[in-house]
Structure 1
Amino acid sequence: MSEPKTPTPAGDTYKGWVFKWTNYIKGYQRRWFVLSNGLLSYYRTQAEMGHTCRGTINLATATITVDDACNFVISNGGAQTYHLKASCEVERQRWITALELAKAKAACMQAESDDSGDDFSPSSPPVAHGQGGRTQNSEVQSALRTLGSKVEDLSTCNDLISKHGSALQRSLSELDSLRLTGEAGDKIRQVTERATLFRITSNAMINACRDFLALAQAHSKRWQKALQAERDQRVRLEETLEQLAKQHNNLERAFRGAAQANATADNKSSAGPGKGEASDEDDDNEFFDAMEEAPEFITVPADPHFHKRSNSNISGFNSEMCPDDQSLNEEPLVMNQESPSQELILLKKRRTRIPDKPNYSLNLWSIMKNCIGKELSKIPMPVNFNEPISMLQRLSEDLEYHELLDKASKCQSSLEQMCYVAAFSVSSYSTTVYRTGKPFNPLLGETYELDRRRESGYRSLCEQVSHHPPAAAHHAISDRGWTLRQEITVASKFRGKYLSIMPLGTIHAIFEKGNNHYTWKKVTTTVHNIIVGKLWIDQSGEIDVVNHTTGDRCHLKFAPYSYFSRDVARKVTGVVMDKDGKAHYVLSGTWDEKMEFSRVMQSSRGGENGTEGKQKTVYQTLKAREVWRRNPLPEGAETMYYFTALALTLNELEEGVAPTDSRRRPDQRLMEDGRWEEANSEKQRLEEKQRSVRREREREAASQRTSSQSEEAVDEDSLTDPSLKSAPHDSYQALWFERCEDRITGEQIHIYKGGYWEAKDRGSWEGCPDIF
């Protein structure tokens, strides 16, 4: 039976049957090879393409070697080597050309990805007004990318033609100098082979030129129209802005004149708001409609007279709440009023450096290609992908900006307090901008304490309370009047190009003053460029911070990254509302840098300028004030896993901690010291020990259930006893936390039951399991 011919390369994909060397028993076996996007993959049959890939090589780092006759070899440095054989010499030359083209393009793409961490280009042209402008811009950008790809094809083909042409010339020269001897036949065959290769490459370049010209002709007129439309739109926008500036000046002068002319506060109230509302409508209908992405609400500056007039009813705030603004910008709290000099002497000096991260190379695709669709916690990962802290320590990092909770505990107003709590919920993501390493999965029963009572007035305890699914319970209490508790379960999926991490669970913040109880959840974290390019992290989703005592609510929105958006990256916006839905504060900023708040003086509904005909709310606000700003990274953080000043101290050895504390974990300690090979061996030992303990615990639970059922007579009551029907296979119980139902959310959670700090004071750890 004759082999089917390899199809002509179409675009970036090349497919066909090739014989692959398997072993000395079976020899060469026919396999279906697919070349796409710089990756060469093979399958036993074409039907396997949808579900089972037998192997993949990234051509960006591979070498292509031509053997005698129809054979050729592809290798990526010894880890993977394919010995292949085509059905004929011409077929082999077609594969060689396609492979070299794909290798050149893959190397170029990898170099570009290493130079720029993300695809955002700040110098990209502005997008035209409305949906039509976005469509035109998208078409132009798509056409430019396609043409750029064709230009790269032309350049690569040109290089190959030059290379093969030189080789052909040398062979022809050698042939001319030879006499008709036994070597003549070999040289003639070599010349014929290279001539065939040169012809195939020339045809590829001719096809690329034809595609380039066809695209240029097809899009030439469209580009001219799009560019002209952009110019016209820009002129119209400039004229509109000039008219708006004039109208603003006229309105401002008219408002000032009306305010001076009226003698009483009632006349001021009746004159001022009317003009203010008209101004808002103009701003909404004319200026903000030109925004590319329609926001949920719009904020405009309120006139300064609003917060100076105590008798005004427009703002919705009375004069008694004005002092709250002053407390939002108060000085940092004094840590200890009694004997400050003595307290400073007793403070422990924390470390400011850890060993630099070693430069170990690792083939990520060889590990991750068989893990697509699986949960991250069930994938055996080497420490090369980790950072030298556990998930319990990473959870404790949420307290880096505990000062926000300290200030919130002193607030007189629950609405003002909500601003600080909302900013605290955003601040926990600031440490994830550059932190692409994966924390160690805690062992069941592993704990971590963070005692900062002397320095900052709080102490925190985390415990791994479940292994499948992995769940960690956290409890922190402060001498300054607040308690923070949470139980987080991380669900994650590897999607090939990106990794999605979905934290499940509720965070609780309780304040002694006013007995305010807040809850919120975390948003989704996405790690991009898992296989090729520079890793970068994005946060997206929505958070509702709810005060269950007063009914106040803050809705925060984390905008996902968009290549076409002109808005600031990593943007977060939110509105603080009371139980009646009235807005009091507007929050804005970014989750990696800072958050600001503005007091709402007046709100109104705008026109139908939102998506799907929804009306946008216009908030008149006072000047924005900063409520939170990210701390700068320590010097040399890029060589220390981009750890913050707090993160550098988390794994520092301390006396008196529990034997289950993450600081005592040997594989994590070895990794921090740079001994990664030993760390990998120790990690496998600990995981196997954990599995054996779990199997033993399940056997004991099954044995107890069997003996219990055999001793008692089977009657009607025992048949209806739910404990006999659905007893859990794993009877593990946490040591410092107990499982119960949360009275606020109704969820089954683990709450700290006490005893840890007392055991530490006694130095008594008899109940701790041996997990290391």
Structure 2
Amino acid sequence: MSEPKAPTPTPAGDTYKGWVFKWTNYIKGYQRRWFVLSNGLLSYYRTQAEMGHTCRGTINLATATITVDDACNFMITNGGAQTYHLKASCEVERQKWITALELAKAKAARMQAESDDSGDDFSPSAAPGQGAGSQNAEFQSAMRMLGSKVEDLSTCNDLISKHGSALQRSLSELDNLTLTGEAGEKIRQVTERATLFRITSNAMINACRDFLSMAQTHSKRWQKALQAEREQRVRLEETLEQLAKQHNHLERAFRGAAQANASADSKSAFKPPLEIFFSFQKVHPVYVTKMSVLGISGPGKGEVSDDDDNEFFDAMEEAPEFITVPADPQFHKRSSSNVSSFNSEICQDDQSLNEEPLAMNQESPSQELVPLKKRRTRIPDKPNYSLNLWSIMKNCIGKELSKIPMPVNFNEPISMLQRLSEDLEYHELLDKAAKSHNSLEQMCYVAAFCVSAYSTTVYRTGKPFNPLLGETYELDRQRESGYRSLCEQVSHHPPAAAHHAISDRGWTLRQEITVASKFRGKYLSIMPLGTIHAIFEKSNNHYTWKKVTTTVHNIIVGKLWIDQSGEIDVVNHTTGDRCHLKFAPYSYFSRDVARKVTGVVMDKTGKAHYVLSGTWDEKMEFSRVMQSSRGGENGTEGRQKTVYQTLKAKELWRRNPLPDGAETMYYFTALALTLNEPEDGVAPTDSRLRPDQRLMEDGRWDEANAEKQRLEEKQRTARREREREALNQRSSSTSEEGVPHENYKARWFEHTEDKITGEAVHVYKGGYWEAKDQGKWDDCPDIF
């Protein structure tokens, strides 16, 4: 069967396809694959029929290097991450591909540079569908396309010059030759290079034709766009003039009403112009935004400008699931004696929240002789590196976050394992829960601990380092706070980390978290998968819960901000008690406090005993439920809301203030500042020893980026080695894309089935702290 003839190369950006032989492995050697070059991306498939559903691999030519080998071979590599060893059927075919690839590479690199330069200039006036701004964006797009075609002509001209020189040299050599055995070979070279010259010339002619066609097409559109912009400006000027007249009329009416009514009540009956402006702004935010672009806006909180950091939603405020009202006075009289011992006990605990965490350790006289390590309170300030996030992520919409190659510019100098250890920031809540004698009281503390884990995220827009497979992190605070914590990255795809913490004060916390994330364009959704377990030794109570969705807003434009939303059920599997927590998503139209969290603690019969309320970034309060009833007001879906009569709310948890200068230190808390502090005796796989993370913390970001690429390539090499070993151990043949993986086994955690949830999880099997005491790390992998 003859090889299908590849089409003639066309200018960069147009599709070029054909059959090329690709090196697979030492067993199969070169295999015939169907390659497609389109929009700066080179993809390959097994057959042409696979183009609609199964792509075997893609490489971005913008940052790729094209290397020519011998007569028919060539290589394409993308920073070591991907390398294709290819072979054409003949030298002429190879030269066709080289020409098409060089054109596509030049255009892709140019488009990426333009995107980086223009990414920070985005403004609401250039958004689609906004009148003159839309026309301006269309005009700019047309100009960029025309400029791109001019660059195509320049690239083709360079290639023609290059290949023309080679052709002239061959012709000169042919003229100097006598009729020997080499004459036939030289004539063949001249023929092939003449063919290459013709192909490149055709590409240049096509580019010129496209350029002229686009210039003729867009000349009329530019005229229409300019005319539409003039008309839009006239309409806006007329509207603003009317608004100014109305504003002046309202001011005169207000002054007249103020003079006629001397009392404060009569004054408050008339709404001043500024309040009317704010009301108008809430009803018509798009119109007021246009006013702000033209320099007209109200002062203070009502101001709307291009620098506004908030992202507004059209969703209306969600109705609350229940209503709380003050309890009857009779309940207050009885509460001091026999209603709840929890009220008096928790009041005492509330006072201890503001005390030093070391106060509990002072109960043990044996520890007074052990000096505690003085930990650092500062890290180097974050350098001011500017980089356009949108230019990197715009081609990654819909992908998993863990599969997007991100420079350290968007990271913070800690790993995901260290970020997971930050869940223990308010471990004293678990300490108090362990001392509780009542399961419902204990549930309040556990629920508050669940909410407190999110308080560190309110300003933290940086992305943690993705841990390498086998990476670990220990947090030994046994002398200061009575607990020890160990995390290990137990899976790479999908990324999963196992965490185990145990305290001398009677509690154990364990979890395995797999993060699923999707980039949606304007925002990034991060969905933690996995269950968190808290077990208390004294009562044998076993609690479980899951985490809510984290959303990072304003990816395209504006200041990044983070929101938590969703619902959590904290369940006591020993007693059947349950706490339902609701994290309300942010809404511009909501009259409620931002980042609000509400919850109800119920026993196994469904009877409510406590109501929790607060915010996930500031504090949580509890109220004892004295009586509940169905209210007359309908809730969502026609259901009646529950009305809880509660005692006065008392504080259960409050966020610790950030250290001085936190805004220059990635908004780290006092605990986070110590997480990456060098420490002796840790495992060689500990995150503190990760070189790219350490370089970033020191402010050497360029070196950190290079080191990050080295570590990731080392991890890929180790994975390929495991795949090769697995392939050698199996007698059955497998496809190159479906190479079986050997079952990777974590070092400190074992894979088992959870008896409570039935999930497949990794549970700590022991041995780490003993190995640390002995200094024996022989079985640890070499990952750094």
TM-score, length-normalised on structure 2? 0.59
Superposition deviation, residue 299 in structure 1: 0.5
Superposition deviation, residue 305 in structure 1: 2.5
Superposition deviation, residue 705 in structure 1: 2.9
- Matches of 2:671 and 2:3 in 1, distance apart? 64
Point out the more displaced range, 444-453 or 31-40. 31-40
1:543-565 Cα deviation digits (max 9, x unpaired): 00000000000000000000111
CA separation of 1:211/1:746 partners in 2, compared to 1, >3 Å: closer, same or farther? same
Query: Does structure 1 retain, via aligned residues, the 8 Å contact 2:507–2:534?
Result: yes
CA separation of 1:480/1:97 partners in 2, compared to 1, >3 Å: closer, same or farther? same
1:171-194 Cα deviation digits (max 9, x unpaired): 999999999999999999999999
CA separation of 1:616/1:732 partners in 2, compared to 1, >3 Å: closer, same or farther? same
CA separation of 1:701/1:53 partners in 2, compared to 1, >3 Å: closer, same or farther? closer
- Matches of 1:654 and 1:309 in 2, distance apart? 54
- Matches of 1:711 and 1:170 in 2, distance apart? 43
Consecutive unaligned residues in structure 1, runs of 5 or more: 715-727
1:310 aligns to 2:335 (yes or no) = yes
Point out the more displaced range, 761-770 or 232-241. 232-241
Query: Does structure 2 retain, via aligned residues, the 8 Å contact 1:113–1:534?
Result: no
Superposition deviation, residue 703 in structure 1: 1.9
CA separation of 1:3/1:613 partners in 2, compared to 1, >3 Å: closer, same or farther? farther
| Number of residue-to-residue matches in the alignment | 753
Query: Does structure 1 retain, via aligned residues, the 8 Å contact 2:13–2:40?
Result: no
**1:757 aligned residue:** 769
CA separation of 1:462/1:249 partners in 2, compared to 1, >3 Å: closer, same or farther? farther
Query: Does structure 2 retain, via aligned residues, the 8 Å contact 1:70–1:88?
Result: yes
Query: Does structure 1 retain, via aligned residues, the 8 Å contact 2:125–2:133?
Result: no
- Matches of 1:598 and 1:259 in 2, distance apart? 45
SS in 2 for 1:300: strand
Point out the more displaced range, 58-67 or 473-482. 58-67
CA separation of 1:321/1:711 partners in 2, compared to 1, >3 Å: closer, same or farther? closer
TM-score, length-normalised on structure 1? 0.60
Superposition deviation, residue 346 in structure 1: 1.6
**2:736 aligned residue:** 711
- Matches of 1:687 and 1:313 in 2, distance apart? 62
- Matches of 1:461 and 1:575 in 2, distance apart? 32
CA separation of 1:744/1:251 partners in 2, compared to 1, >3 Å: closer, same or farther? farther
- Matches of 1:33 and 1:686 in 2, distance apart? 30
- Matches of 1:192 and 1:621 in 2, distance apart? 94
1:256-297 Cα deviation digits (max 9, x unpaired): 9999999999999xx9999999999x9999999999642100
**2:17 aligned residue:** 15
CA separation of 1:536/1:359 partners in 2, compared to 1, >3 Å: closer, same or farther? same
Superposition deviation, residue 613 in structure 1: 1.4
Superposition deviation, residue 652 in structure 1: 0.3
1:105 to 93, 103, 107: 107
SS in 2 for 1:9: coil
Point out the more displaced range, 288-297 or 37-46. 37-46
Query: Does structure 2 retain, via aligned residues, the 8 Å contact 1:596–1:626?
Result: yes
Query: Does structure 2 retain, via aligned residues, the 8 Å contact 1:324–1:411?
Result: no
CA separation of 1:660/1:302 partners in 2, compared to 1, >3 Å: closer, same or farther? same
1:159-181 Cα deviation digits (max 9, x unpaired): 99999999999999999999999
- Matches of 2:481 and 2:39 in 1, distance apart? 53
Superposition deviation, residue 153 in structure 1: 35
Superposition deviation, residue 40 in structure 1: 24
CA separation of 1:247/1:294 partners in 2, compared to 1, >3 Å: closer, same or farther? farther
CA separation of 1:65/1:105 partners in 2, compared to 1, >3 Å: closer, same or farther? same
1:173-221 Cα deviation digits (max 9, x unpaired): 9999999999999999999999999999999999999999999999999
**1:274 aligned residue:** 300
- Matches of 1:703 and 1:13 in 2, distance apart? 39
Superposition deviation, residue 704 in structure 1: 2.0
CA separation of 1:767/1:45 partners in 2, compared to 1, >3 Å: closer, same or farther? closer
Point out the more displaced range, 161-170 or 146-155. 161-170
Superposition deviation, residue 145 in structure 1: 30
Point out the more displaced range, 612-621 or 16-25. 16-25
CA separation of 1:679/1:430 partners in 2, compared to 1, >3 Å: closer, same or farther? same
SS in 1 for 2:601: strand
Superposition deviation, residue 698 in structure 1: 1.4
- Matches of 1:25 and 1:766 in 2, distance apart? 34
CA separation of 1:294/1:422 partners in 2, compared to 1, >3 Å: closer, same or farther? same
- Matches of 1:379 and 1:652 in 2, distance apart? 28
CA separation of 1:526/1:107 partners in 2, compared to 1, >3 Å: closer, same or farther? farther
Superposition deviation, residue 616 in structure 1: 0.4
Query: Does structure 2 retain, via aligned residues, the 8 Å contact 1:117–1:534?
Result: no
CA separation of 1:70/1:598 partners in 2, compared to 1, >3 Å: closer, same or farther? farther
- Matches of 1:656 and 1:438 in 2, distance apart? 28
CA separation of 1:533/1:577 partners in 2, compared to 1, >3 Å: closer, same or farther? same
Point out the more displaced range, 546-555 or 185-194. 185-194
- Matches of 1:465 and 1:18 in 2, distance apart? 39
CA separation of 1:177/1:487 partners in 2, compared to 1, >3 Å: closer, same or farther? closer
CA separation of 1:180/1:212 partners in 2, compared to 1, >3 Å: closer, same or farther? same
Superposition deviation, residue 486 in structure 1: 0.2
SS in 1 for 2:335: coil
CA separation of 1:634/1:111 partners in 2, compared to 1, >3 Å: closer, same or farther? farther
CA separation of 1:675/1:648 partners in 2, compared to 1, >3 Å: closer, same or farther? same
Query: Does structure 1 retain, via aligned residues, the 8 Å contact 2:692–2:707?
Result: yes
Superposition deviation, residue 336 in structure 1: 3.0
Point out the more displaced range, 382-391 or 155-164. 155-164
1:323-344 Cα deviation digits (max 9, x unpaired): 9999999997743356659637
1:582-603 Cα deviation digits (max 9, x unpaired): 0000000000000000000000
Superposition deviation, residue 528 in structure 1: 0.4
- Matches of 1:207 and 1:711 in 2, distance apart? 39
- Matches of 2:324 and 2:25 in 1, distance apart? 70
CA separation of 1:689/1:555 partners in 2, compared to 1, >3 Å: closer, same or farther? same
Superposition deviation, residue 368 in structure 1: 1.1
Superposition deviation, residue 51 in structure 1: 15
**2:247 aligned residue:** 248
Query: Does structure 2 retain, via aligned residues, the 8 Å contact 1:335–1:455?
Result: no
Point out the more displaced range, 288-297 or 565-574. 288-297
1:742 to 754, 760, 764: 754
CA separation of 1:399/1:687 partners in 2, compared to 1, >3 Å: closer, same or farther? same
**1:376 aligned residue:** 401
Superposition deviation, residue 146 in structure 1: 30
- Matches of 1:298 and 1:228 in 2, distance apart? 57
- Matches of 1:620 and 1:132 in 2, distance apart? 54
- Matches of 1:226 and 1:499 in 2, distance apart? 34
Query: Does structure 2 retain, via aligned residues, the 8 Å contact 1:324–1:416?
Result: no
Superposition deviation, residue 513 in structure 1: 1.4
Superposition deviation, residue 706 in structure 1: 2.5
**1:2 aligned residue:** 2
CA separation of 1:405/1:106 partners in 2, compared to 1, >3 Å: closer, same or farther? farther
- Matches of 1:471 and 1:668 in 2, distance apart? 19
Superposition deviation, residue 58 in structure 1: 21
CA separation of 1:248/1:453 partners in 2, compared to 1, >3 Å: closer, same or farther? farther
- Matches of 1:108 and 1:707 in 2, distance apart? 47
Superposition deviation, residue 250 in structure 1: 45
1:89-146 Cα deviation digits (max 9, x unpaired): 99999999999999999999999999999999999999xxx99999999999999999
Superposition deviation, residue 309 in structure 1: 3.0
Point out the more displaced range, 347-356 or 168-177. 168-177
SS in 2 for 1:538: strand
CA separation of 1:666/1:591 partners in 2, compared to 1, >3 Å: closer, same or farther? same
Query: Does structure 1 retain, via aligned residues, the 8 Å contact 2:127–2:134?
Result: no
Superposition deviation, residue 607 in structure 1: 1.3
- Matches of 2:92 and 2:723 in 1, distance apart? 63
Consecutive unaligned residues in structure 2, runs of 5 or more: 268-296
**1:584 aligned residue:** 609
1:700 to 722, 725, 731: 725
- Matches of 2:42 and 2:27 in 1, distance apart? 25
Query: Does structure 1 retain, via aligned residues, the 8 Å contact 2:13–2:104?
Result: no
Point out the more displaced range, 603-612 or 405-414. 603-612
1:431-452 Cα deviation digits (max 9, x unpaired): 1111000000000000000000
- Matches of 1:619 and 1:241 in 2, distance apart? 50
1:31-57 Cα deviation digits (max 9, x unpaired): 999999999999999999999999999
Superposition deviation, residue 646 in structure 1: 0.4
Query: Does structure 1 retain, via aligned residues, the 8 Å contact 2:12–2:39?
Result: no
CA separation of 1:142/1:469 partners in 2, compared to 1, >3 Å: closer, same or farther? closer
